[in-house]
């Protein structure tokens, strides 16, 4: 019995396990997933006697955090063969993947949980809910937003224009989001079509004051769903810090902050350290790792899941006193209050 990362040529061999564990997904969607998503993702499996007993997939995205870009993995298709559940197999697969992501230089990972309770033991914490936009197919036509000159399915260079427009909107309104490009939307359209849905955009002409056409611009964007399909609930999104030192570098401050605390991480040993963070609203953040024996200046202890909540605004310092694993001094709370939470967060990706 062993855990390993599959070679790309082996990815398709996990389809039987996907189909067994996710019967709610249509065959057309699974066809899409196994023709598109497995081309550039990573798949970890626990293998026993030549059989795949457990697996998870890491789908790559480029995440913008506080204006900086960070490569992240979206943990999906977490599955165990029904004959091998309750044996601790998934723990082995997930902890192996978490440590490999750390070694690869990743700062964060995220997932959409079937149940939060599954991932809390692995230091994932809910930081936001998904946002969903749509229009509904009705009577062979479409409900159109007023004021647009044309509602249509994007094609050609319109995918790049859509990505540029979306990124501009997201930069102006969110602190954390997945950065788009034209291929992001081409792939998303295939994903939605596999389940009978799609993308519509509003296209309008942009003129100068003399009435000369400058360019086309996107005025609206909607995901469409088949008539009668239930409106999707805003699913929870959980984040996990993989590299504490790198995660701390994304923080900004209300005023000068000088803080020293220890971090506990049950699964990634390298994160168990004492961190000394100095920063202000006008200077870069200075992060130093102190010797583990240097406890004189330590203000308290934060489990890695609590640190995640503080960084992304899911927790406030005052909420942390009674959380498992936390040692909080008044001085630590005072300094943590100087951090600016990195929010709002926009995550709309499904797989």
For 68-117, the pLDDT digits (tens) are: 999 999 999 999 999 999 999 999 999 999 999 999 999 999 999 999 99
pLDDT at 228 > cutoff 70:
no
How many whole angstroms separate alpha carbon 343 and alpha carbon 333? 20
- Cα end-to-end span (Å), the chain: 28
pLDDT at 296: 67
pLDDT exceeds cutoff 50 at 135: no
Which residues have CB under 8 Å from 275's CB, separation 6+? 244, 245, 248, 260, 261, 262, 263, 287, 288, 289, 290
Select the highest-mean-pLDDT range: 29-43, 141-155, 271-285. 29-43
Specify the pLDDT at position 341: 98
Mean pLDDT computed over every residue of the chain: 89
Alpha-carbon gap, residue 74 to 104, rounded angstroms? 15
Two structure tokens written together for 268: 């990634």
The confidence score (pLDDT) of residue 142 equals: 38
Dihedral of the alpha carbons of 222, 225, 230, 233, in degrees to the nearest 10: -40
| Residue predicted with more confidence, 320 or 293 | 320
Residues 130-139, mean pLDDT to the nearest whole number: 52
* pLDDT band, very low/low/confident/very high, at 227 (cuts 50, 70, 90): low
pLDDT at residue number 216: 66
Average pLDDT over residues 153-170: 92
Architecture of domain 2-106: 3-Layer(aba) Sandwich (3.40)
327-328 sheet: strands from edge to edge: 286-290, 273-279, 257-264, 300-303, 327-328
Residue 320 has a pLDDT of 97
Band (pLDDT 50/70/90 cuts) for residue 148 is very low
- Domain limits, the chain: 2-106, 135-231, 241-340
Structural domain 241-340, CATH architecture: 2-Layer Sandwich (3.30)
- Tokens found for residue 174: 């969110």
Q: How many CA atoms lie within 13 A of 351 on its CB side?
A: 23
């Amino acid at each position: 019995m062993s855990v390993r990362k599959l070679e790309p040529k082996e990815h398709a061999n996990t389809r039987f396990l996907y189909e067994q564990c996710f019967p709610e997904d249509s065959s057309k969607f699974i066809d899409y997933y196994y023709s598109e998503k497995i081309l550039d993702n990573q798949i970890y499996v626990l293998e026993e006697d030549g059989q795949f007993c457990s697996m998870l997939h890491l789908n790559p995205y480029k995440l913008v955090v506080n204006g900086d870009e960070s490569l992240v993995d979206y943990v999906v298709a977490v599955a165990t063969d029904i004959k091998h559940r309750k044996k601790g197999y998934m723990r082995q697969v997930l902890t192996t993947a978490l440590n490999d992501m750390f070694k690869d230089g990743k700062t964060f990972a995220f997932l959409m949980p079937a149940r939060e309770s599954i991932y809390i033991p692995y230091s994932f914490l809910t930081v936001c809910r998904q946002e969903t936009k749509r229009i509904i197919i009705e009577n062979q036509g479409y409900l159109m937003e007023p004021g647009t000159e044309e509602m249509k399915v994007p094609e050609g260079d319109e995918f790049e224009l859509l990505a540029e427009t979306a990124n501009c909107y997201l930069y102006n309104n969110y602190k954390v989001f997945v950065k788009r490009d034209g291929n992001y939307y081409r792939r998303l359209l295939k994903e939605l079509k596999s389940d009978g849905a799609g993308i519509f955009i509003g296209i309008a002409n942009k003129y100068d004051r003399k009435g000369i056409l400058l360019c086309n611009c996107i005025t609206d964007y909607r995901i469409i769903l088949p008539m009668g399909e239930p409106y999707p609930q805003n699913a929870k999104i959980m984040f996990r810090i993989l590299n504490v030192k790198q995660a701390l570098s994304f923080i900004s401050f209300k005023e000068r902050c000088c803080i020293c605390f220890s971090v506990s991480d049950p699964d990634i040993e390298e994160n168990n350290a004492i961190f000394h963070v100095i920063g202000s609203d006008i200077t870069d953040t200075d992060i130093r790792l102190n010797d583990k024996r240097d406890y004189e200046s330590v203000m308290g202890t934060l489990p890695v899941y609590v640190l995640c909540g503080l960084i992304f605004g899911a927790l406030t310092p005052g909420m942390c006193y009674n959380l498992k694993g936390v040692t909080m001094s008044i001085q630590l709370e005072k300094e943590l209050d100087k951090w600016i939470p990195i929010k709002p967060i926009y995550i709309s990706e499904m797989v």
